Amino acid sequence: MGLAERRGVVSSVARAVSGATGRLLARPQGRRDEYALCPEDGYWFRPTYTEGKCPLCGKVVPGGAPPLPLLARIDRSWLGPAVLALESLAMMALVLLMYFKA
């Protein structure tokens, strides 16, 4: 492999790394009100999922953590019994329907 070929490989790797770094450090696209900028290290993060603290330095976001989305607030241990209860009611309705139709 010649020097010119090695330079081409290194420059393509360097371009890929710098492009990935630029995407990681760039301001997030889309819903920007959900993101916060840490004044210490310039890192954009979502305080909803980090309890209002920067994941790198631990500094608290002004205004604290926003409330979690509804699906994150639901206690998932109750979903199983709720599904079983609904399934039991559906089976009971089906059995009663078949019993009275026959």
Residue-level pLDDT at 59: 84
Name the pTM for this structure: 0.37
Residue 72 inside a domain? The answer is yes
Residue 76 inside a domain? The answer is yes
Question: Residue 74 sits in which domain range?
Answer: 68-102
Number of folded domains in the chain?
Answer: 1
Residue 26 inside a domain? The answer is no
Q: How far apart are CA 80 and CA 67, in angstroms?
A: 25
**φ, ψ dihedrals at 16, nearest 5°:** -65, -45
Residue 95 inside a domain? The answer is yes
Chain-wide mean pLDDT for the chain?
77
Residue 88 inside a domain? The answer is yes
For residue 84, pLDDT over 80 is answered with yes
Residue-level pLDDT at 7: 55
